Amino acid sequence: MIAPLLMAAAMFAQAAPAAAPAAASSAPSAAPPAAGAPKDLSGVTVTGQKKGSDPTEVVCHSEPVLGSMFPKKVCASRQAIAERRDQDQAELRKWTALRPGVSN
pLDDT digits (tens, 9 = 90+) for 64-77: 999 999 999 999 99
Cβ–Cβ under 8 Å, residues 81 and 62: no
Mean pLDDT in residue range 75-100: 91
Does the pLDDT of residue 18 top 70, yes or no?
no
- Is 23 domain-assigned? no
Domain that holds residue 85: 58-97
Provide the whole-model pTM: 0.44
Return mean pLDDT, the chain: 75
Cβ–Cβ under 8 Å, residues 57 and 78: yes
- Is 78 domain-assigned? yes
Number of C-beta neighbours around residue 20 at 10 A? 8
- Is 42 domain-assigned? no
Looking at the 3D structure of the chain, how many domains does it have? 1
